[in-house]
Structure 1
Amino acid sequence: MKALSTRGIAPPVAISQAIAAGLAPDGGLYMPEHWPTFSPADFAGDETLAAVGKRLLAPFFADDAIGERLDAICDDAFAVTPPLRRFGTGDDFVLELFHGPTAAFKDYGAAFLAGCLGALPRGEVPLTIVVATSGDTGAAVGAAFHRKPGFRVAILYPDGRVSPRQAHQLGCFGDNVRAFRVDGSFDDCQRLVKSALSDAEFRSEVPLGSANSISLGRLLPQMTYYAHASLMHWRKHATTLNFVVPTGNLGNGLACVLARRMGLPIGEIVLASNANAVLPDFFAGGDYTPGPSIATLANAMDVGAPNNFERLQWLYPDAGGLRALLSADAVDDATIRATIVDAWQRQGEAICPHTACAVHVLQRRRAAGASGDWVAVSTAHPAKFPEVVEPLIGQAIALPPALAAMLERPSHAQALADDGEALRDLLRHG
């Protein structure tokens, strides 16, 4: 299968080429040229996340260089099947995506991308993976590529705008993984990365790859856990599952949309944003107007210009039609706090600020009369945000073993100005 640029100027390329490049030469984002369709019966006998992933993703890689390694890549990236469990009483569920090595949902996509890139032939010069992070992506990418021969990783994050534990994770790898704390916002980090990736002359000097959600190697695997959760629910209850997805850069929400597009038994999809309300404003009928990001308690969603909206518009160019397929709500910091307290007091559930956005939006839907089975997607372990969660629930949260091990390592991040040439110099000499 070929991949096309959303801007329509760059020529079609193989899926593996699109994954290796990250960004298309015309500045667009790659998308598969067509979407296979499935029915639940096509996944008969597939119980684990890895088994569902192999079947779901096989059409994209059937004639590709990565195809022969796809099963092994899926076995590695999808080794942990995320729990789908009831949340309180009634028909509400939570999908826990935080059981990977860095306690965030992005572990799935990062591990799959690392497997794909590792399956492709490389020259003698290492491939530098350059990634912007608002909190969780960078650690997942660092863990996926740490000590992998032939790769270097440069993680850019906004100084002072990630949680202390997130910052420690970003800088704790060493070896072939470096962290840079940028004097700016996540949007500034994202702009720096896209500028380097779109500089053909620089890329001829320093081979680059992307691990942000602009990469197809991150986007495609994220469809798998939505496919798996909806299939397991369908088999047990014979009903579609409706999702509330916390979203910042829109990759996770888009993956759910794509899984539904491919025929998985998914009903309504609602995006849960924090105070960065560019998506809720658009889906409420306003113009799409990216702006400066706002710092919030749900920092991994502090995105003022969601990259993947370009993909969504490419798939659904009619704004009215797009609004009929999706909706979005914003949640402010005061409501995030109140939702964390409520979940703890009512149900004994400790949830992270991002999960709290999804839980509150689900509560709004229920209050407005929504019926059916709904799931709030839980994207990170609450132990990553002790400064927020622990004072609200009045007790410490036990650390997952993998996160505890990371926090025991020394951590270092280098200061970086919001300057594209400064980044290029560091990448040249790293």
Structure 2
Amino acid sequence: MSALEPLRYHSTRSATPTVLISQAIAAGLAPDGGLYVPAALPSIDLAAFDPHGSLADTAATLLAPFFAGDALTDELPAICAEAFTFDAPLRPLPAHPHTLMLELFHGPTSAFKDFGARFLAACLRRLPRDDTRALTILVATSGDTGAAVAAAFHRQPNLRVVILYPDGLVSPRQAHQLGCFGDNVQALRVAGRFDDCQRMVKAALNDTALQADVPLSSANSISLGRLLPQMSYYAHASLNWWREHGTPLNFIVPTGNLGNAMACLWARGMGLPIGDVQLACNANATLPEFFAGAAYQPREAVATIANAMDVGAPSNFERLRWTFPDEAQLRALLHAQSVDDETIRAALLRHAHEHGEVVCPHTATAFALLDRHPASDDRPWAVVATAHPAKFETVLEPLLGQPIAVPSALATMLERSATAKSIPADDERLKRWLRQHADR
């Protein structure tokens, strides 16, 4: 598909009606409850990328076909420059031949979610709205998404953020981040699990009567405005590796809701030099069991020390099936494994004490998969590091017997006071709360 042809989007559940990217981003979720996908995944010529360009330059080139024919087309370079103000370094791991770490935690909230959240905020700031009422950005979080969205939208005029997170199932520092913004950001502690939060958000977004009373949009990875920009760091890393070595770069991606993994797969589908993609999951085995040959069976999530991946019903599985409708082909192209808490702890200890690499529990799931690779596998692998280890000090410090240095941006947030309101895991209670607080 030519980058000059307007690209239209439809739901994973129906090929009609179609919309342009601005409409898909503004809505978050398709009217039938499905997730927006492009009518066809565009391809791109690697020669189109500036070999000396920044991450923002790579993003602008990569995403141009997705914004073709849209009102935001001319704004895309500025959106990327505004969103991608920090690096995603690809760092060799000296103790592991042929292995690197893609560090995605250098943003304002120390997690990979900062890339997509800032891009989405930059898009929404530029989209005209006929409705003069505030737009509520509704987001479910298993730990990191909420803080990234809150930071991206904090104090933005005519926008407010409502964050739902599972009470007691995120790390203390994650919970503090979620509640420390105030102003136009409200955190809700849900008496349930992440899947409950996600279900409540979808129910609200799908309620047309509620939408008429309270304009809503989403900032989860169900939103294309979050998912598309996440392709950029995979493109940038794989291009830089390919230019220097002439070979594709393979990735091990920690995943829960499948958004980060989908971004990697779509970048590969566009023609970027990405080889194999392996999914590292925690004890929530919905995806590993499917890829092992079982029927797809969502289930209630179980709590683990890699809490941001505690997802039993990953939303982006709909997009995965749209991308690869043949299940046999899908299972042949992708590999997923579960890592239990004991193995995560062992990986954390081994890589800290033997190799000097202190990582978060989610990144440790990827290291655990790396440790399972046969010695004969000499292909280049990049472990995707999704969050800074300092966000999980209650897990890491007792285990490693040492304090974890806190990055300055996180330290500043931890100095603020934090508060969150409690709400039951009930769809209708959230809808009533949103109506009651529509003008606050």
TM range (shorter): over 0.9
Select which of 392, 395, 398 maps to 1:391: 398
1:213-255 C-alpha deviation (Å, 9 max, x unpaired): 1000011001000000000111111111000000000000011
Distance 1:354 1:217 in 2: 24
Q: 1:419 aligns to what?
A: 426
Select which of 145, 148, 154 maps to 1:146: 154
What is the 5 A alignment of 1:22-37? 22-37=28-43
1:163-212 C-alpha deviation (Å, 9 max, x unpaired): 00000000000000000000000000000000000001110110000001
Q: 2:190 aligns to what?
A: 182
Q: Secondary structure at the match of 2:57?
A: helix
The answer to whether 1:11 aligns with 2:17 is yes
Select which of 50, 63, 82 maps to 1:57: 63
Q: Secondary structure at the match of 1:125?
A: coil
The answer to whether 1:380 aligns with 2:367 is no
What is the 5 A alignment of 1:342-421? 342-367=350-375, 369-421=376-428
Q: Percent identity?
A: 61
Higher mean C-alpha displacement, 41-50 vs 100-109: 41-50
Q: 1:285 aligns to what?
A: 293
Q: 2:79 aligns to what?
A: 73
Given that 1:9 and 1:26 are in contact with CA atoms closer than 8 Å, whether structure 2 keeps it comes out as no
Q: Secondary structure at the match of 1:135?
A: coil
1:304-359 C-alpha deviation (Å, 9 max, x unpaired): 00000011111111110101110001000000001000011111111100000011
Tell me by how many angstroms 1:46 deviates.
4.3
Q: 1:164 aligns to what?
A: 172
Tell me by how many angstroms 1:150 deviates.
1.1
Q: Secondary structure at the match of 2:17?
A: coil
TM-score in terms of structure 2 length = 0.96
Q: Secondary structure at the match of 1:67?
A: coil
Distance 1:44 1:216 in 2: 25
Q: CA RMSD in A?
A: 1.0
The answer to whether 1:110 aligns with 2:105 is no
Q: 1:415 to 1:10 in 2, by over 3 A?
A: farther
The answer to whether 1:254 aligns with 2:262 is yes
Given that 1:296 and 1:302 are in contact with CA atoms closer than 8 Å, whether structure 2 keeps it comes out as yes
Tell me by how many angstroms 1:419 deviates.
1.6
Given that 1:10 and 1:25 are in contact with CA atoms closer than 8 Å, whether structure 2 keeps it comes out as no
Tell me by how many angstroms 1:421 deviates.
2.0
What is the 5 A alignment of 1:205-216? 205-216=213-224
Tell me by how many angstroms 1:81 deviates.
2.0
Q: 1:312 to 1:282 in 2, by over 3 A?
A: same
Q: 1:40 aligns to what?
A: 46
Opposite residue 315 of structure 2, the aligned amino acid is N
Q: 2:106 aligns to what?
A: 99
Given that 2:50 and 2:57 are in contact with CA atoms closer than 8 Å, whether structure 1 keeps it comes out as no
Tell me by how many angstroms 1:9 deviates.
6.0
Given that 1:10 and 1:24 are in contact with CA atoms closer than 8 Å, whether structure 2 keeps it comes out as no
Given that 1:46 and 1:52 are in contact with CA atoms closer than 8 Å, whether structure 2 keeps it comes out as no
The answer to whether 1:84 aligns with 2:90 is yes
Tell me by how many angstroms 1:371 deviates.
2.6
Given that 2:8 and 2:18 are in contact with CA atoms closer than 8 Å, whether structure 1 keeps it comes out as yes
Q: 2:307 aligns to what?
A: 299
Tell me by how many angstroms 1:10 deviates.
4.7
Given that 1:139 and 1:169 are in contact with CA atoms closer than 8 Å, whether structure 2 keeps it comes out as yes
Given that 1:53 and 1:224 are in contact with CA atoms closer than 8 Å, whether structure 2 keeps it comes out as yes
Tell me by how many angstroms 1:365 deviates.
2.0
**Count of residue correspondences:** 429
Q: 1:62 to 1:402 in 2, by over 3 A?
A: same
Opposite residue 319 of structure 2, the aligned amino acid is R
Distance 1:202 1:58 in 2: 34
Q: Secondary structure at the match of 2:14?
A: coil
**Structure 1: gaps of 5 or more residues:** none
The answer to whether 1:202 aligns with 2:200 is no
Distance 1:347 1:45 in 2: 32
Q: 1:337 to 1:78 in 2, by over 3 A?
A: same
Tell me by how many angstroms 1:40 deviates.
2.6
1:112-134 C-alpha deviation (Å, 9 max, x unpaired): 01111111012210000000000
Tell me by how many angstroms 1:158 deviates.
0.3
Given that 2:50 and 2:58 are in contact with CA atoms closer than 8 Å, whether structure 1 keeps it comes out as no
Distance 1:10 1:192 in 2: 25
1:7-62 C-alpha deviation (Å, 9 max, x unpaired): 01651111110111011111110001122212332213343110100000011112
Given that 1:35 and 1:262 are in contact with CA atoms closer than 8 Å, whether structure 2 keeps it comes out as yes
Distance 1:130 1:407 in 2: 23
Given that 1:104 and 1:379 are in contact with CA atoms closer than 8 Å, whether structure 2 keeps it comes out as yes
Higher mean C-alpha displacement, 285-294 vs 415-424: 415-424
